[in-house]
Amino acid sequence: METKGTCRLILVGKGCITIFLDNEEDRNKIWSGGPWVIGKQLLRFSPWSPFFDPEKQRNTHALVWVKFPGLGVEFWEVDTLMAIRRTLGMPIQVDQSSTTMEFDYFAKVLVDADLAEPTPNKILVEVEGGDFGKKWS
């Protein structure tokens, strides 16, 4: 992402960075954009707070590829897959190579999941003309 003004990054420890911006437009672009992924790492933003201590930060989130074996091809649209994935966390992207029937019958989505939350093993998808319920283990 390109900024209009000055942007300074200061490493404060344990993978935490303070970002200094000199204008509100850049700040709004960062907060409203995303998800921001660099390499395979999802960046998490939180507003500055006084007495921030990176050593006291605990992260229960992880990027997880979730595979849907046996999911009908009518559900393989990117928007539909992303909506289904919201049941487990914030969807990041769909693996386009997995949404084919060449080798197997599945779709796969990258999700920012909170591992401290319970994970459902069944998802009910309501569609026009009926419901589709699938239990994944």
Read off the pLDDT of residues 74-133 as tens digits, 9 standing for 90 and up: 777 777 777 777 777 888 887 766 544 444 567 788 888 888 988 877 777 666 765 565
Q: Are residues 27 and 68 in the same domain?
A: no
- Nearest alpha-carbon partner for 93 in 133, 36, 46: 36
Query: Where residue 43 falls among pLDDT bands split at 50, 70, 90?
Result: confident
Query: Which residue type sits at 119?
Result: T
Would residue 53 count as lying in a domain? no
Kindly state whether residues 67 and 130 are assigned to the same domain. yes
Residue 118 identity: P
Run of H or E residues at 30: helix 24-32
Task: Say yes or no: 26 and 92 in one domain.
Answer: no
Number of domains in the chain: 2
Question: Which candidate, 79, 78, 67, 137, places its Cα nearest to that of 106?
Answer: 67
Tell me whether residue 65 is in a domain: yes
Output the pTM of the full model: 0.62
72 & 126 share domain: yes
Q: Are residues 67 and 123 in the same domain?
A: yes
Note whether residue 46 is domain-resident: no
User: What is the average pLDDT value for the chain, to the nearest integer?
Assistant: 79
* Domain shared by 68 and 129, yes or no: yes
Query: Omega into 91 within 30° of 0, i.e. cis?
Result: no
Both 80 and 117 in a single domain? yes
* Domain housing 70: 61-135
65 and 28 both lie in a single domain = no
In a domain, 130, yes or no: yes
pLDDT attached to residue 15 = 82
Residues 21-58 as b/e (b if ≥16 CB within 10 A, e otherwise) read beeeebeebbeeeeeeeeeeebeeeeeeeeeeeeeeee
